[in-house]
Homo-oligomer: A and B are copies of this chain.
Amino acid sequence: MKMILAILRDEDSENVSHELVKSEYRVTRIASTGGFFRRGSTTLMIGVAENKVEDAIQVIRRACAPAIEPGTKRATLFVLNVAHFEQI
Contact = CB atoms under 8 A, between A and B. Distances in A.
Interface of A: 1-3, 5, 7, 21, 26-36, 38, 41, 43, 45, 47, 53, 57, 60-61, 64, 73-88
Given A43-B45, A87-B73, A29 B21 contact: no
A19 to B, nearest CB: 12
- What are the 5 A-B residue pairs with the smallest beta carbon separation, nearest first? A79-B84, A73-B87, A77-B86, A28-B34, A79-B83
Interface of A is mostly: strand
Q: How many copies of this chain are found per oligomer? A: 3
A3 B7 CA distance: 13
A32 B21 contact: no
A27 B31 contact: no
